[in-house]
Chains A and B, each alone.
Chain A
Amino acid sequence: MNFDFTPKQLAIKKMITEFVDSEVKPYADEADKEEKFPEKQIKKLAKLGIMGMSIPEKYGGAELDNVSQTIIMEEVSRGCSATAVSMGAHASLACHPLVNFGTEDQKKRFLPKLASGEYLGAFALTEPNAGSDAVNVQTTAVKDKDEYIINGNKIFITNGGTADLINIVATTDKGKRHHGLAVFTLETKDLKGFELGKKEDKLGLRGSNTQELVFKDMRVPKENMVGGIEGEGFKISMSVFNSGRIGIGVQGVGIAQAAFDEALKYIQEREQFGRKLHKFQALQFMLSDMATRIDAARLLCYRAAHVKDQGKRYVKEAAMAKLYGAETAMEITRKALQIHGGYGYTKDYPLERFYRDAKITEIYEGTSEIQRLVIAAELLGRGF
């Protein structure tokens, strides 16, 4: 049993903490209020090699272990959750299919550009009638000689309107249900038949881009089908989900920590009834419960990352980390706002932003209800 980070992981933590405090956190409010995509921050993250953190060294990436990637996700989320989700959608969701399932040719063509940050990536599965219910994907891919003709639309796609490369899920044979799914890599520049639909106006993560994508007779070369064989799409999607869950769990931890840090500062400064708030035992208890809960959520996330690093099955661990991390974000942001009273409800303080940003962690990458189903399936066996 060992709860310590390695010296290298600590060096990464120190670097990313300093970077986030100086280069990310100060711009979070502006990103939220002006719905400003954190382009500059993403460019700087790319310069540090972070956009390539999940990509093997061979293809220009940093090939970080999962614990290190989790450290980075937590810290960036603490500074600005909109920046964190834009980074995560790229480094975790978009890169994952190519890193783990791509052909050698696909890896060589796409990974160096994703690693350097020249390309921003996205992953598109969700449709009006399919999300966690991936089998119900309606977007079709019909083979025509050396190409696939793709029709359909995708919704709620993080980075959808800003990405240079999007891995989309489509069905090549509806009759085969999940065995008919495949993932296709799109390079969006000058791509005929590729259109942007509605940009979502969201409760939180307002600096991040969430976009509808429309495909009308869009032609994609067959060399861009990830892995090169039909029917792999469901397996790839489930793998992306699994891996992404740790990231969203720890995003919840990062948001919770940001809210907690504000609350801790506030109760030591604010006076009521002639004494500082931290002298009130009710608030001391609240603070202790908050810190304990954040730590519990954090440990679940790092445990899941550690199990993944060991190459073991981590489905249950990742689902638990995601479930608890997300619900922790909700509870801690609510309490931290409560500690701030009326001030917390105003836009003069970041608490209301944390509160809005936290909510999505209970929804995307599988809702909390889906996580409970996944955990139950692991506990009871697949045939329950």
Chain B
Amino acid sequence: MNIIVCIKQVPDTNEVKIDPKTGTLKREGVPTIMNPDDKHALIEAVKIKKKTKAQITVLSMGPPQAEEALREALALGADQAILLCDRAFAGSDTWATANAIGGAIKTIGNYDLLLFGRQAIDGDTAQVGPQVAELLNIPQITYAQKIETEKNKVKVERQMEDGYEIIESNIPCLITCISEINETEYPTLKGIRQAYKKEVKVWSADQAKVDKSKIGLLNSPTSVKKSFTPPAKGQGQTLKGSIKDIAKEIIDLLKERELTGGF
């Protein structure tokens, strides 16, 4: 089995501050990490590898420093790493990114399973995985909380708001993973040592054989018009007294705000 895991290097949003004047992220000096959902997708791939002797290729698009995230992926158990790095990719929205990633996946070829994280913590769109599946015309299963591989098919638990679906699909297919799918792992010293013995292949748009009319800022159908920080919510209200009094007060408050519905 050949698995391709797509990862993104993102700023550690726990450390990011937003400039209230410009509404943009202050990225200077902020540490970067492998996007958490993507890391869980990779850890899942490594688990599948242990059972099925799969080969894992990890793929990312980003600036040269994204190599660090790919090395971490190699240290966690991926077999080879490819970085799509070219000015032509810069400013891509999700559609253009999917064209780049999807194009590179076609070039890699011979894949059985494509694993993505559900969404990246810097953009929160959750679109690239599904868009790549559409582009490649293969089945997609999103929000996976469990994956079982069988011969030529997969069985996936797909998380819903109030339960989960069990979905079976033939391979090749694309699955986006949520963090609940597995426990986090740390690279071992042996893994780190091996990661630095391997090569991270850097592909330009031409080397990845992607359609250059469908990537980059100018070819992106969406653009960010404005970003802003919503004002902080006001202080909550604390009610004191007996449970009965509090319950009555809550009902009064809800009625006052016409939130009682059919009561």
Contact = CB atoms under 8 A, between A and B. Distances in A.
Contacts, number: 40
Nearest to A14: B72
Contacts of A52: 189
Contact of B189 (A10, A14, A62): A62
B211 interface: no
Nearest to B31: A14
A48 B196 contact: no
Contact of A47 (B188, B192, B193, B195): B188
Contacts of A15: 75, 186-187, 192
B195 to A, nearest CB: 7
A55 to B, nearest CB: 11
B151 to A, nearest CB: 31
A19 B183 CA distance: 13
B190 interface: yes
Contacts of A19: 186
B134 interface: no
Contacts of B72: 11, 14
Interface in A244-278: none
Most B CB atoms within 10 A — which of A8, A10, A11? A11
A11 to B, nearest CB: 5
9 contacts: A8-B192, A11-B187, A12-B192, A15-B192, A48-B187, A48-B188, A50-B189, A62-B193, A64-B189
B71 A48 contact: no
Interface string B184-226: 1011111011011000000000000000000000000000000
Contacts of A18: 186
Interface in A76-122: none
Nearest to A11: B192
A198 to B, nearest CB: 36
A165 interface: no
A7 B187 contact: no
Most B CB atoms within 10 A — which of A15, A18, A53, A62? A15
Interface size class of A (residues with CB under 8 A): 10 to 19
A48 B193 contact: no
A50 B189 CA distance: 7
A10 B186 CA distance: 14
A15 B72 CA distance: 9
A12 B68 contact: no
B255 to A, nearest CB: 39
A22 B188 CA distance: 16
A231 to B, nearest CB: 35
Given A7-B196, A8-B196, A49 B68 contact: no
Nearest to B192: A11
B196 A11 contact: yes
B152 to A, nearest CB: 34
B75 A11 contact: yes
B186 A11 contact: no
Contacts of B71: 7, 11
Most A CB atoms within 10 A — which of B68, B186, B189, B196? B189
A62 B75 CA distance: 14
B68 A7 contact: yes
Contacts of B184: 22
B9 to A, nearest CB: 12
Given A7-B71, A11-B71, A49 B189 contact: yes
Contacts of A12: 189, 192
Given A11-B68, A48-B189, 17 more contacts: A7-B71, A8-B193, A8-B196, A10-B68, A11-B75, A11-B187, A15-B192, A18-B186, A47-B188, A48-B188, A49-B188, A49-B189, A50-B189, A52-B189, A53-B189, A62-B190, A62-B193
